[in-house]
Amino acid sequence: MTTPMWALIAVFAPLASALLLAVLAPIRRRGGLAAAVSITFALASLVGAIFAVIGTLHAGGSDWTRSWLASGGALPLSVTFGVHVDGVSAPMLAVVALVATCVQLFSTGYLDDESSASRGRYFAYQSLFLFSMQLLVAAPNLLQLFFGWEIVGATSYLLIGYWYKKPSAARAAVKAFWVTKFADMGLLIGLVALFGFTGSFEWTAQLAPAAATAVTLLFVLAVMGKSAQFPLHVWLPDAMEGPTPVSALLHAATMVAAGVYLVVRAQPLFAQAPFTQHFLAYLGAGTALFAALLALVQTDLKRVLAYSTCSQLGYMLAALGAGSAFAGFFHLTTHAFFKALLFLAAGSVIHAVGSNEMSKMGGLWKKMPLTMLVFIAGAFSLAGFPGFAGFFSKDLIIDSLSEHHLWAPYAALLLGAFLTALYMGRAILLTFFGPHESHEAEHAHEPGWSMKLPLIVLALLSVGAGFFGGDLWHLASLTDYVHGVYHFRFGAVASVLALSGFVVAWVAWGKTREEPALARSLAAFANRAWVDRLYVFGYRAGLLLVSDVAAWIDRYIVDALVNVVGSFFLLGARRARRLQTGNVQDYLFAMSLGAIALAVWSIWR
């Protein structure tokens, strides 16, 4: 088996599972069987991905492509599909497959209240998601990437709307699709333009500077949507209406990271556009700070994590903006582990308590010690506690910004690091410590093994993955845009800030569950609603109004013309009808006249 073959298994095993579940209703309707099928194929995908990584380590990158769509003539188009295995895609395949497997396993426990038919539906969606994500990751060109990009968007829509009987879930699903689809217009136009300029969909294409800036800025629009960057981040908090494992997989670990992955992948293009890179750095840093502030004032545990995801994606994009593709990519992988872990742990809590609100939790450390431990491990990793995985990758990002003298984003990210520790400290304290705030919290208990096992696996990775940075570097440097050597410097400032964040959190929420005055005023200011309202206003006053006008014009102007013409003939006919007396001799008279006229004309013409 060659490396691309393993990668093909990684990509297409989930597709097989999705097809099986979609077509064979008997399997799908038996929820447990569906879960088994889905997890088996996810494991196959994981195995394929691991072998692809090993193959890449030994033999470097390789490809397997086939023609997908071609057209001839004077405008040749030749699109291929297949897998492109290199130091970036292979580890990413493995990360995605690993997290997905964990999440699917977790889901079997999490969703045990659901009817088996709807669980079957869930796992069909999950398999489809995994397939499309792997398709995106392994894409040999930007078009296939876009292909996967859009299907993950659609599966995200399906999974957010999984509990469609909840109106909020149905609405959130549509909202997520709208926002990302709006952003995807950028990617679509960008691709069309890229083809217009180069005749291909390669990320290695060479463009004129202006064209490169235009195309990459269009890509950035899509990235902003998919990776939930300000001001297109509004869908992500709402997406928490989906089941928590979905949030863990799609809206934290993998799908939202697709935007970052796109920028990593298209690094050769972005490198040609310095303006875009600067924009990206400021955008990422701004979002990192902004979302961290918002995370601080949430009362919903999942929303804390959602805003934290926005914030961390901002870190990655800032690093990419600084031109350090590896830092962003590294953080992408570690973030996938610890954020999935945090979400799953949160899911375990929510499963036990039956509510997302932190005000209903509290004191859970006695009831769910394992969950608490892994949650704290994830939080430390996220906050960049020295030695944990996030510490390594985040330091690399902050370093890369200082290297490139982007001081404003640098400062924002440092402040963000402090805030991260602060809000995670708050979340830990409010959730696991203090008194029980509800009846359910009093009777909470640890979940079963199907949920514990993924937690433990991910916790181990969240703690230890940082030490493999050098290996990842080794892999990633197989691509042509990761240069230099991996050097790790202990980021003292960031560490101190992170630690002080936890200390401040302890001071603020250690004894009381009351919000400090500062946080309350922040909440009042930064409540996400105002951005949302702006969009709602734009939708109602913009799109809906225009649509009403268009429909009105269609019915009462364009169509009215038709009706008026029709009526004209109808009325005319009503008059002309009087000519028809019904009397044979009148007709004869007319006939004779006609015959005479014809005869006269034919004789004397």
Q: Which of residues 39-98 bind another protein (CB under 8 A)?
A: 63, 65, 67-80, 84
- Bridge partner list, 276: none
585 binds another protein (CB under 8 A): yes
Question: Using the 8-state DSSP alphabet, how is residue 577 labeled?
Answer: G
The whole-angstrom separation of Cα 367 and Cα 187 is 48
Largest CA distance in the chain: 119
Q: Which of 485, 517, 562, 573 binds another protein (CB under 8 A)?
A: 562
Q: Which of 146, 375, 468, 509 binds another protein (CB under 8 A)?
A: 146
The whole-angstrom separation of Cα 85 and Cα 87 is 7
Least distance in angstroms from the C-beta of 234 to another protein: 15
Least distance in angstroms from the C-beta of 444 to another protein: 29
Q: Which of 5, 36, 112, 202 binds another protein (CB under 8 A)?
A: 202
C-alpha count within 13 angstroms, C-beta hemisphere, residue 388 = 24
- Contacts of another protein in 207-226 (CB under 8 A): 207-208, 210-211, 214
The whole-angstrom separation of Cα 191 and Cα 175 is 24
- Contacts of another protein in 532-561 (CB under 8 A): 543-544, 546-552, 554-556, 558-561
Least distance in angstroms from the C-beta of 582 to another protein: 3
599 binds another protein (CB under 8 A): yes
Least distance in angstroms from the C-beta of 496 to another protein: 46
CA 547 to chain centre: 29
* DSSP secondary structure letters along 480-491: TT--S-------
CB nearer to another protein: pick between 184 and 399: 184
196 binds another protein (CB under 8 A): yes
Q: Which of 1, 518, 541, 600 binds another protein (CB under 8 A)?
A: 600
Peptide bond connecting 231 to the previous residue in cis, omega within 30 degrees of 0: yes
Each residue 342-371 as x (binds another protein by CB under 8 A) or -, in order, gives: ------------------------------
CB nearer to another protein: pick between 1 and 588: 588
Burial (CB < 10 A; 0-12, 13-18, 19+), residue 144, is: buried
Cβ–Cβ < 8 Å for 441, 359: no
Q: Which of 60, 199, 231, 470 binds another protein (CB under 8 A)?
A: 199
CB proximity list for 573: less than 8 A, separation 6 or greater: none
CB nearer to another protein: pick between 150 and 440: 150
154 binds another protein (CB under 8 A): yes
Determine how β-strand 77-85 pairs with β-strand 62-71: antiparallel
Q: Which of 204, 359, 512, 521 binds another protein (CB under 8 A)?
A: 204
Q: Which of 20, 151, 217, 504 binds another protein (CB under 8 A)?
A: 151
- Contacts of another protein in 161-190 (CB under 8 A): 161, 164-167, 170-171, 173-174, 177-178, 181-182, 185, 188-189
The whole-angstrom separation of Cα 144 and Cα 136 is 7
CB nearer to another protein: pick between 210 and 507: 210
Cβ–Cβ < 8 Å for 216, 269: yes
CB nearer to another protein: pick between 63 and 112: 63
**Of 160-168, 252-260, 508-516, 524-532, which segment contacts another protein by CB under 8 A?**
160-168
Neighbours of 266 (CB within 10 A): 25
Cα–Cα distances (Å) from 472 to 199, 257, 460, in that order, read 33, 17, 17
The whole-angstrom separation of Cα 454 and Cα 459 is 8
Cα–Cα distances (Å) from 565 to 483, 494, 575, in that order, read 72, 76, 16
CB proximity list for 548: less than 8 A, separation 6 or greater: none
Least distance in angstroms from the C-beta of 59 to another protein: 15
Interface with another protein (CB under 8 A), residue total 98
CB proximity list for 74: less than 8 A, separation 6 or greater: none
**Of 159-167, 295-303, 391-399, 431-439, which segment contacts another protein by CB under 8 A?**
159-167
CB nearer to another protein: pick between 69 and 518: 69
1 binds another protein (CB under 8 A): no
Each residue 120-139 as x (binds another protein by CB under 8 A) or -, in order, gives: ------------x-------
The whole-angstrom separation of Cα 445 and Cα 422 is 27
Neighbours of 373 (CB within 10 A): 16
581 binds another protein (CB under 8 A): yes
Each residue 308-347 as x (binds another protein by CB under 8 A) or -, in order, gives: ----------------------------------------
Tokens for 445?
């208990």
193 binds another protein (CB under 8 A): yes
Q: Which residue has the tokens 């909440």?
A: 523
Least distance in angstroms from the C-beta of 474 to another protein: 22
CB nearer to another protein: pick between 58 and 580: 580
Least distance in angstroms from the C-beta of 143 to another protein: 8
**Of 282-290, 410-418, 476-484, 577-585, which segment contacts another protein by CB under 8 A?**
577-585
CB nearer to another protein: pick between 154 and 499: 154
Q: Which residue has the tokens 């859009």?
A: 150
Least distance in angstroms from the C-beta of 140 to another protein: 6
Helix (H) or strand (E) holding 138: none
3-class state of residue 82 by DSSP:
strand
Burial (CB < 10 A; 0-12, 13-18, 19+), residue 285, is: buried
The strand ranges marked E within 2-118 are 62-71, 77-85
Least distance in angstroms from the C-beta of 212 to another protein: 10
- Contacts of another protein in 480-519 (CB under 8 A): none
Cβ–Cβ < 8 Å for 431, 348: no
> What type of residue is 234?
V
Q: Which of 26, 435, 484, 582 binds another protein (CB under 8 A)?
A: 582
Least distance in angstroms from the C-beta of 264 to another protein: 18
